[in-house]
């Protein structure tokens, strides 16, 4: 019998639905919300309203592309958290309602757990290689930066995390300082490719053990620009590419330094990255380079599965289904759901 999982993601500003059957992806549809651009960040109330408008058409589109009917669904997996409460409520309520209507089980999924399992997303016939357990994962998103040992798909240990800003937040906040649109990470990535990463250097935090810190870097970036702009009003526009390249180098440098340390301390050589920031081309390049130097096997989700998507929710739902980890109608969304 087929195991067909409908995944639903609505934790922030993307409404997404996906179908995974017997572990293989059949469809992954995402409705991005452009309404936030004018505000320089995600406006929670607008996000909830847009999710309400998008969720039915996105689920229908995912089923249609998969060539499956509602009656084919074995279980519905949805993002329980972390995320914006109003946004999570839309996905959770929809999933709960559909599960009652179709008489199929519900599976609640932690968004961060799902980001990590994005390395297991593949379509039938893809020649993907998967990491072997235990593997190390650097999870870098807009809200989180963590180093995790994955012992199995459903068992893991967090061995390091940021003590202040997340890596994606550092990209976005610094991008805002130099007037780039939200989210700034992809913009910095694009402009950095034309810049010199050695042009400027910014203070990097020294943090104990395997933890990270990015708030000092953001302050150093801000103060440096404030001083430069005093003498040259057009400093930022004159040096935009070099600023982006140097900033990106600083963020990636901090991430890679702790990743190397974690690999050394644990002796693990299968290394994965996940989360929105893993879409960064500089990070990917550094990681592949380190892989060659350190004799690691490196696993990076394709860009479409690195940023928020429901395929990762569906694949996590699939593994939870296999181990019988279902959820009741009483489980409520959790805006802060930091323990995986």
Please report, as ranges, the residues that interact with ligand KG4 according to CB under 6 A: 12, 115, 141-143, 168, 171-172, 183-186, 189, 275-277, 279-280, 307-308
Closest separation between CB of residue 276 and ligand KG4, Å? 2
Q: State the Cα–Cα distance between residues 138 and 93, nearest whole angstrom.
A: 31
Picking from 306, 285, 295, the residue whose alpha carbon sits closest to that of residue 260 is 295
Q: Which does 143 bind (CB under 5 to 8 A by kind): ligand KG4, Zn ion, none?
A: ligand KG4
User: Who's near 137: CB < 8 A, 6+ residues apart?
Assistant: 116, 119, 147, 148, 149, 150, 271, 272, 273, 274
Q: Annotate each residue in 157-196 with x if it binds Zn ion (CB under 5 A) or - if it does not, as one string.
A: ----------------------------------------
Closest separation between CB of residue 118 and Zn ion, Å? 10
By beta-carbon proximity to ligand KG4, the closer residue of 10 and 74 is 10
Q: How far is CA 136 from CA 6, 132, 142, 150, 207, in A?
A: 28, 10, 20, 6, 20
By beta-carbon proximity to ligand KG4, the closer residue of 160 and 185 is 185
Q: Is 239 exposed, middle or buried (0-12, 13-18, 19+ CB in 10 A)?
A: buried
**141: contact with Zn ion by CB under 5 A:** yes
**9: contact with Zn ion by CB under 5 A:** no
**3-state class of 99 per DSSP?**
helix
Closest separation between CB of residue 14 and ligand KG4, Å? 7
Closest separation between CB of residue 234 and Zn ion, Å? 36
Q: Which does 280 bind (CB under 5 to 8 A by kind): Zn ion, ligand KG4, none?
A: ligand KG4
Q: Which does 172 bind (CB under 5 to 8 A by kind): ligand KG4, Zn ion, none?
A: ligand KG4
Q: Which does 183 bind (CB under 5 to 8 A by kind): Zn ion, ligand KG4, none?
A: ligand KG4
**308: contact with Zn ion by CB under 5 A:** yes
User: Who's near 247: CB < 8 A, 6+ residues apart?
Assistant: 171, 174, 188, 192, 202, 217, 221
By beta-carbon proximity to ligand KG4, the closer residue of 4 and 307 is 307
Q: Which does 28 bind (CB under 5 to 8 A by kind): ligand KG4, Zn ion, none?
A: none
With CB under 5 A as the rule, give the number of residues binding Zn ion: 2
Closest separation between CB of residue 200 and ligand KG4, Å? 18
By beta-carbon proximity to ligand KG4, the closer residue of 72 and 338 is 338
Degrees, nearest 5: CA angle 104-106-107: 140
Dihedral sign for Cα atoms in the order 299, 304, 309, 311: negative
**28: contact with Zn ion by CB under 5 A:** no
By beta-carbon proximity to ligand KG4, the closer residue of 172 and 242 is 172
Picking from 319, 312, 324, 320, the residue whose alpha carbon sits closest to that of residue 25 is 312
**3-state class of 168 per DSSP?**
helix
Neighbouring CB atoms inside 10 A of 255's CB total 24
Closest separation between CB of residue 193 and ligand KG4, Å? 10
Inter-residue contact 246 to 239 (CB < 8 Å): no
Which positions touch Zn ion (CB under 5 A)?
A: 141, 308
């Amino acid at each position: 019998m087929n195991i067909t999982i409908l995944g639903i993601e609505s934790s922030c500003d993307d409404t997404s639905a996906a179908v995974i059957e017997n572990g293989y992806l059949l469809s992954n549809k995402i409705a991005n919300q452009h309404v936030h651009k004018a505000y320089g960040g995600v406006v929670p109330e607008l996000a909830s309203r847009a999710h309400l408008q998008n969720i039915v058409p996105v689920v229908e589109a995912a089923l249609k592309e998969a060539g499956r009917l509602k009656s084919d669904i074995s279980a519905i997996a949805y993002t329980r958290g972390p995320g914006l409460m109003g946004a999570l409520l839309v996905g959770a309520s929809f999933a709960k309602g559909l599960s009652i209507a179709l008489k199929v089980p519900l599976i609640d999924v932690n968004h961060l757990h799902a980001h990590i399992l994005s390395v297991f997303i593949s379509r039938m016939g893809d020649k993907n290689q998967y990491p072997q357990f235990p593997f190390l994962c650097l999870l870098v998103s807009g809200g989180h930066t963590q180093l995790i040992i994955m012992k199995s798909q459903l068992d893991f240990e967090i061995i390091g995390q940021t003590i202040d800003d997340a890596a994606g937040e550092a990209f976005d906040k610094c991008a805002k300082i130099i007037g780039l649109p939200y989210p700034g990470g992809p913009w910095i990535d694009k402009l950095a490719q034309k810049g010199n990463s050695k042009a400027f250097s910014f203070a990097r935090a020294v943090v104990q053990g395997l933890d990270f810190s990015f708030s000092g870097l953001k302050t150093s970036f801000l103060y440096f620009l404030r001083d430069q702009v005093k003498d040259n009003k057009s400093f930022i526009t004159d040096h935009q590419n070099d600023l982006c390249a140097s900033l990106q180098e600083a963020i990636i440098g901090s991430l890679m330094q702790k990743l190397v340390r974690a690999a050394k301390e644990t002796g693990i050589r299968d290394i994965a990255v996940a989360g929105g920031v893993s879409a960064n081309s500089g990070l990917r390049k550094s990681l592949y380079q380190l892989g060659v130097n350190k004799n690691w096997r490196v696993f990076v989700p394709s860009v479409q599965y690195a940023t928020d998507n429901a395929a990762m929710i569906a694949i996590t739902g699939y593994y939870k289904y296999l181990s019988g980890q279902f959820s009741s109608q009483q489980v409520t969304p959790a805006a802060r759901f930091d323990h995986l």
